[in-house]
């Protein structure tokens, strides 16, 4: 039986140990609010991740695993981006999603100022409750 994660710090450590992920960092409420304001309404997954009590931003490279679900779907002729499960985290209401370019740039500038992030690295938001 897999161990349930008890603390946010355990989740940060877990994410930093996943192949292809790096620089996991918890977002403040102000950062979550700014990201929400910058993100497209079609990115339903980001909205859901930001609505969880805890949201972690983490970057990944091409060695990270494939998504655990569909990253886009058509609804009423529009492409939307749903949340995707994140099976590595054993918490409540876990959801992940990749933000759009505006939020990606904001995250690199605000959360990671002074840290060099590879140009080809993508950001990922993982939201969850404990």
Predicted local confidence at residue 31, as pLDDT: 95
Predicted local confidence at residue 20, as pLDDT: 93
What would the pLDDT profile of 4-37 be if each residue is shown by its tens digit? 556 899 999 999 999 999 889 999 999 999 999 9
Predicted local confidence at residue 109, as pLDDT: 85
What are the beta bridge partners of residue 74?
79
What would the pLDDT profile of 37-88 be if each residue is shown by its tens digit? 999 999 999 999 999 999 999 999 989 999 999 999 999 999 999 999 999 9
What would the pLDDT profile of 99-130 be if each residue is shown by its tens digit? 999 999 899 888 766 666 777 788 999 999 98
Gap between the Cα atoms of 84 and 32, Å rounded: 18
SS (H, E, C) the chain: CCCCCCCHHHHHHHHHHCCCEEEEEECCHHHHHHHHHHCCCCCHHHHHHHHCCEEEEEEECCCCCCCCCCCCEEECCEEECCCECCCCCCCEEEEEECCCHHHHHHHHHHCCCCCCCCCCCEEEEEEEEC
Please report which confidence band the pLDDT of residue 1 belongs to, taking 50, 70 and 90 as the band edges. Answer: very low
pTM value? 0.89
Here the tokens at position 5 are 């994660």
Under 8 Å between Cβ of 76 and 70:
no
């Amino acid at each position: 039986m897999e161990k349930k994660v008890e603390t946010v710090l355990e989740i940060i450590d877990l994410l930093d140990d996943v192949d292809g992920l790096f620089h996991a960092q918890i977002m403040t409420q102000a950062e979550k609010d700014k990201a929400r304001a910058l993100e497209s309404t079609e990115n339903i997954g980001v909205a859901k991740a930001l609505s969880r009590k805890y949201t972690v931003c983490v970057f990944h490279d091409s060695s990270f695993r494939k998504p655990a679900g569909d990253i886009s779907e058509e609804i009423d002729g529009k492409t939307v981006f749903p949340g995707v499960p994140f099976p590595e985290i054993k918490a409540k209401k876990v959801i992940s999603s990749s933000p759009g370019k505006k939020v990606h740039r904001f995250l690199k500038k605000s959360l990671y100022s002074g840290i060099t992030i590879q140009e080809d690295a993508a950001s990922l938001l993982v939201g969850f409750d404990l």
